[in-house]
Amino acid sequence: MHKSKNRGDSVKSAKKFKIGLLASAGSIVSQIIAFVSGLIVARTIGPNNYGLFVLCRNLCQTSSILSRSGFELGVIRKIRENKDNALLQASYIAHALYISGALSFSFVLLAWLWGSNYLSNNVYHYDQFNSVFSVMVILIPLLAVFRIYIGLNRAYFRIQQSVIVESILQPVSRLLIILILFIFFVDLWAVIWGTLLSFLFVICYLIYDAKKRIKIYFFSPKLLPKIDIGSYWRYSFMIAITSSVNLLLTKMDSFMIGYFNGAEEIGKYAIIQLTVPVIVVFNGSFNKMLGPTIAELAADNNYKGMASAIRQHTRWMAIGSFPLFLIFAFFGKDLLLIFGKEFTLPAITIVILASGQLVTAIFSSAGFLLSMTKSYKFEFPVLLLALFLNVFLNYLLIPKFGIVGAAVATLIALFMANILRVAIVSEIYSFFIFDKWILPPLILATSSLLLILFARNLLQDSTIAGAFIASICFCVLYVLILNSVGLSPDDKKLSKDIVTLFRKKIL
């Protein structure tokens, strides 16, 4: 019996690692494609047009979260709750598409009839804003349908399919379409239509792929069983509100830079925002491994087990994120010259925005724990308070300090939100998310960097290629030293399990 239980735990752990590794690989590939795409697009159309595109895209992304009302997660819950009733599943899926579709097209009509003119006359006084935003709003329903179908793949445990579509197929098709359009017209409109057409292409693929597995009487709602739409929508909409606040917390600086400083400054700022998220690239993969574990431990009121899992998660976020933060802090200005001198920004801006990503990574386990337990109700007010603080600080600092002020405002808001999360977790569950083993990776990363900086200073190098080589050498040195002396016993075991899984995949 004991052996059978251990074997079952082993299988579950292997599955968690596989999901985590798959999500991590997808995140890395997605980051690489996004970087290449941003590099080509930004250098081709320039900071002003790139900033205008980013501004309109961010506005559409925020609106799309509200229009799809959290159904991309709501369908996952309902499909799993009714796993033996295909017709009931189909009813939940169809109603998610009905409601999100109606809301999305309402947003589009509102933008066409009133919103676009209002924003161009009162907020963003740019020559092309009205025409660009009027076309970009088509992205709202496309994003809604895309996210819901990605949710369906996850609900049916087709994780590999969702990662391929979300992290590879969509960004690659977008880049290819934009490059083809650049042959005919090299301007902002090639980027806009390339983005819209790529989502349309991927949605057509998802619909075709889903119809073979999911029985949805989309055009015959009378054939579907009745569901409690009110309860379904309330659950999903709360997710949407929280997600919207969370997204606004990260996008508000761009919106307000656009209001005070113009599209060109948004374009320069967006380049840093495009690159620094690599700091949290491993966050999603470890969250997918942590999620089932925390949910199970919370159900058993096993706070000691929760503390152990959360602390290990926090350590691995520090292990993976802190060295990447140091690369941006010390080599970021040289590395970002690859986008061209017209995108040059103060080095302090890179450091501040990278610090915000580091805070998000290292403190993420506290927010994730709140979301995965009955304490989820605390997440929304914390994020809302941080958003209000962010808006206030942006309004205060951007007119005086420009984009540096925007970066400071975002960092302070993120830090406050995460400190509150940690305080709430400590109060409710009586444990702290950090332990002594978080210090070795921080010390070893700093020591490794000092050695590389010393060597680079001796060579008197300040080139992009030199910064890239120095970054690689730093990472290799850090990993070697960390693996030798910087891991706790539990982390060494986890490291060996990951390496074993990699070997099995390769062989």
Distance CA(488)–CA(331), nearest Å, equals 29
Nearest to 104 by CA among 138, 77, 154, 132: 138
Q: Region 179-195: what's the mean pLDDT?
A: 94
238, pLDDT greater than 80: no
464-490 per-position pLDDT tens digit: 889 999 999 999 999 898 888 777 777
pLDDT of 310 reads 85
pLDDT of 242 reads 81
111, pLDDT greater than 90: yes
Let me know how long the chain is: 507
| CA 83, chain centre distance (Å) | 29
When comparing pLDDT for 374 and 479, which is higher? 479
| CA 246, chain centre distance (Å) | 11
Q: Where are the alpha helices (DSSP H) in 186-301?
A: 188-211, 229-260, 263-275, 283-299
Instruction: Give the whole-number percent of the chain exceeding pLDDT 70.
Output: 86
Contacts of 303 by beta carbon, 8 Å cutoff, 6+ apart: 297, 429, 430, 431
Annotated domain spans of the chain: 12-227
pLDDT of 488 reads 75
pLDDT of 5 reads 45
**Neighbouring C-beta atoms of residue 164, cutoff 10 Å:** 16
45-86 per-position pLDDT tens digit: 999 999 999 999 999 999 998 898 888 878 877 777 787 787
Q: Region 341-349: what's the mean pLDDT?
A: 83
When comparing pLDDT for 499 and 240, which is higher? 240
Q: Region 410-430: what's the mean pLDDT?
A: 90
Q: Are 142 and 117 in contact (CB under 8 A)?
A: no
241, pLDDT greater than 60: yes
**Neighbouring C-beta atoms of residue 183, cutoff 10 Å:** 8
Q: Region 155-162: what's the mean pLDDT?
A: 75
Q: Are 418 and 359 in contact (CB under 8 A)?
A: yes
pLDDT of 500 reads 66
The pair of three-digit structure tokens given for residue 336, joined into one six-digit string: 């970002």
Q: Are 70 and 371 in contact (CB under 8 A)?
A: no
pLDDT of 288 reads 56
CA distances from 448 to 123, 320, 347, 459 (A): 47, 14, 21, 17
Q: Region 173-196: what's the mean pLDDT?
A: 95
pLDDT of 494 reads 66
pLDDT of 15 reads 54
pLDDT of 156 reads 75
Nearest to 342 by CA among 22, 70, 51, 144: 51
Q: Are 181 and 41 in contact (CB under 8 A)?
A: no
Query: What would the DSSP string read from start to end of 322-350?
Result: HHHHHHHHHHHHHHGGGG-GGG---HHHH
233 pLDDT band, cuts 50/70/90, is confident
Q: Please provide the average confidence, as pLDDT, over all residues in the chain.
A: 84
314, pLDDT greater than 60: yes
Distance CA(243)–CA(250), nearest Å, equals 11
**Neighbouring C-beta atoms of residue 338, cutoff 10 Å:** 16
99, pLDDT greater than 80: yes
Q: Region 264-275: what's the mean pLDDT?
A: 89
- With tokens 């690159």, the residue in question is 275
When comparing pLDDT for 387 and 505, which is higher? 387
330, pLDDT greater than 50: yes
11, pLDDT greater than 60: no
Q: Region 236-258: what's the mean pLDDT?
A: 86
218, pLDDT greater than 70: no
Least confident of 83-92, 212-221, 319-328: 212-221
CA distances from 471 to 26, 166, 478 (A): 22, 29, 11
Nearest to 16 by CA among 369, 300, 373, 293: 293
212, pLDDT greater than 80: no
Buried b (16+ CB within 10 A) or exposed e, 358-386: bbbbbbbbbbbbbbbbebeebbbebbbeb
3, pLDDT greater than 60: no
Q: Region 84-109: what's the mean pLDDT?
A: 88
6, pLDDT greater than 80: no
When comparing pLDDT for 440 and 76, which is higher? 440
- With tokens 């702290």, the residue in question is 432
Q: Region 250-265: what's the mean pLDDT?
A: 91
When comparing pLDDT for 2 and 239, which is higher? 239
Buried b (16+ CB within 10 A) or exposed e, 67-101: bbbbbbbbbbbbbeebeeeeebbbbbbbbbbebbb
pLDDT of 2 reads 47
pLDDT of 104 reads 95
9 pLDDT band, cuts 50/70/90, is very low
